[in-house]
Structure 1
Amino acid sequence: MSRILAIDYGTKRTGIAVTDELQIIASGLTTVNTKDLLQFLKDYIKNESVELFLVGEPKQMDNSASESEVHILPFITTLEKVFPKIPIQRVDERFTSKMAFQTMIDSGLKKNQRKNKALIDEISATLILQSYLYSK
């Protein structure tokens, strides 16, 4: 089997999570500068088989699109062009940042460590991926 790769897209940083090859476990992979994201994905896919991209879909409480969606849609268009054989699915990412922060607290990270926004992005991507796996 191939991996599923989840992307928590941000204008500065993007969190990435991935499944194991059996698609059972979601693990945080890394956080990359968004300007380096496509190259990171190209390099990763050279070494690993990916069958699906999950891209977080930020929504408001009333289910309307979040303001950040205007940045995500052009990225998705580029992703489709660069990787035409890998399908893309959107996953509601409401509350993932808050849940990521709470996960950091629950795991005992000190206040200084919880300020690491890159770690929050990576955990958010993991939560997006985990919610997708639960829904399958």
Structure 2
Amino acid sequence: MNPTAQTITKIDEQLSKREIELDPGGYFIIYLDREAKLICAKHYTNVINDRGLAVDPETGEVIPARGKVNRTAETLFTGKTAKEVCVKIFEQTHPSPVTLLDHAAYLGRELVRAEMALIHAQEYVQD
């Protein structure tokens, strides 16, 4: 890894450790449908409780940050590019399911990573 790549990786790793505020508009699970050559983003609703945790609006159960959760997505957004998915989420859906600017920035970064993985036939794991 070259020095620039090492620096970028180190910065990203540090920033990934920061505390984040959860979006009351919900969260997304991003994945690739390689057969269809699509970037997919499933949107799930949630409620933020008084402890700052995301909970299932139907059951009141805390939604774990890791591991499999058996929930039904509210909406599936798909596109061949990160820009196409972003337009669908932020410009064509009213109101947008994203209510926080930092969440919007995160989604943009993740969708570009997914696009690059699709183009270069690499593995994609959402950060």
**The TM-score by the shorter chain falls in which range?**
0.3 to 0.5
Q: TM-score, normalised by structure 2?
A: 0.34
By relative contact order (CA 8 Å, sep 6+), the higher-ranking structure is 1
Q: TM-score, normalised by structure 1?
A: 0.32
Structure ranking higher in helix proportion: 1
